Amino acid sequence: MDLQSEAARIREAAAKAIKTCKSIDDVDAVRVKYIGRRGELTLLLRKLGEVSPGQRKEVGKMLNAIKDEISSLLAERRKEIETALKDETLRKETIDVTLPGRRVRIGKLHPTLRILNEIIDVFVGLGFTAVEGPEIETEYNNFDALNFPPWHPSRDDFDSFYVGDGYVLRTHTSPAQVRVMKSQEPPVRVVVPGRCYRRDTPDASHLMSFFQIEGLYVDHDVSLADLKGTLAIFAREIFGPETKIRFRPHYFPFTEPSAELDISCLVCGGAGCRLCKQSGWLEVLGCGMVHPNVFKHVGYDHKAVTGFAFGLGVERIAMLKYGISDIRTLYENDLKILNSL
Ligand code: DAH
């Protein structure tokens, strides 16, 4: 066998194979095949001994030159493939900075809580302090101390959640009046937000659980005019500067006189429409002058002090402000609706 022509054939074959390499693995395979420990050219080099001494040097030189050539072709191809791979990765990992980002959804307070905070803020601005009372209340604080007669219908099992041992889930925030007055001397100026419970069958305007805010102002010469002035400011702040108010006589056991506060209709302004049932007015809250019997229960001198109180339903105010006709909307937590409010 002619070593030189065999070497030339190997050189051609290797060069061709190197050109078709697509990966580093391909390059390695070609290297092993031709110049590896048992590669075709390596084996050929081992046969140098068979060449006649006169030609050995020249043939050896040629074989080694071919080996070097194949080595550098392999190295070149390897580099090309590596560069191509790197370019490909870079291309894939490129960030399109002009692509619009994903929107981060930011939560917001529930409309009921928003209105609750707004109302509290109005009264804090008038010098009231916000305090809280327990949701599980004594029957005494919830009813007796508030001058509810023993036969009053709201004491009925059908209206209140009794939890036993003289306790009831508070049916209103008014018992907080008793707690506050028992714990401090006049002057008292508090608002009490909180959850209340009643055995009502849920419908468009009733739920078994709802929020109220109680207000109480007691001092030595608090008058009905103070009550009216305070609630007029409340109404204007919450419902807008054009809002008019009126008192409608009512009955509550713990106030005398008692009244309900109406505001001029938010839709028609008083002319009469569907929302106000053509009356021009919307009922907003209950209020009155603290009954002397309540003062007696808490140990205040009912001849020396006077006070006013009021209690409002937070969901009712939220419904009026947001134009919601069914109170259950506020508890279903349909995000589409909540986001629109
Ligand atoms: N507690 C009453 C209720 O739940 C609301 C109320 C009316 C509170 C008159 C008051 C008030 O403080 O003076 O219906």
Render pLDDT for 235-269 as a digit per residue (tens, 0 to 9): 999 999 999 999 999 999 999 999 999 999 998 99
The residues near 85 (Cβ < 8 Å, ≥ 6 apart) are none
- Span 183-210, pLDDT tens digits: 999 999 999 999 999 999 999 989 999 9
- pLDDT of the residue at 1: 56
Mapping DSSP to helix (H, G, I), strand (E, B) and coil, where does residue 219 land? strand
Per-residue CA distances from 204 to 181, 198, 225, 327 (Å): 35, 15, 34, 5
The closest residue, in CA terms, to atom 4 on ligand 1 is 172
Give, using CA atoms, the residue closest to atom 8 of ligand 1: 311
| CA atoms 225, 230, 234, 236: torsion sign | positive
- Quick one: 139 and 52 in the same domain? no
Would residue 241 count as lying in a domain? yes
pLDDT surpassing 80 at residue 8: yes
Question: Letter for the amino acid at 308?
Answer: F
Do 116 and 63 lie in one domain? The reply is no
Residue 72's domain comprises 3-92
Distance 34 CA to ligand 1 centre (A): 100
Residues 36 and 164 in one domain: no
Q: How far apart are CA 22 and CA 17, in angstroms?
A: 10
Is residue 82 predicted with pLDDT exceeding 90? Answer: yes
Q: Which residues line ligand 1 (CB under 6 A)?
A: 172, 174, 214, 252, 255, 286-288, 309-311
The per-residue pLDDT for 315 is 96
Task: Please give the distance, rounded to the nearest whole angstrom, from the Cα atom of residue 160 to the centre of ligand 1.
Answer: 16
Evaluate whether residue 100 is within a structural domain. no
Q: Residue 257: is the preceding peptide bond cis (ω within 30°)?
A: yes
Same domain, 158 and 294: yes
Residues 116, 224: one domain? yes
Helices (runs of H) and strands (runs of E) counted in the chain? 12, 10
- The domain total for the chain is 2
- Among 59, 92, 125, which residue terminates a domain? 92
- 127 assigned to some structural domain: yes
In a shared domain, residues 50 and 126: no
Structure tokens at 99: 């692509």
Q: Give residue 249 CA to ligand 1 midpoint distance, Å.
A: 13
Residue closest via CA to ligand 1's atom 6 equals: 311
Distance 242 CA to ligand 1 centre (A): 25
Q: Quick one: pLDDT band at residue 147, thresholds 50, 70, 90?
A: very high
Question: Do 88 and 118 belong together in one domain?
Answer: no
Is the C-alpha dihedral spanning 171, 172, 173, 175 positive or negative?
negative
Q: CATH number for the domain including 122? A: 3.30.930.10
Domain contains 18? yes
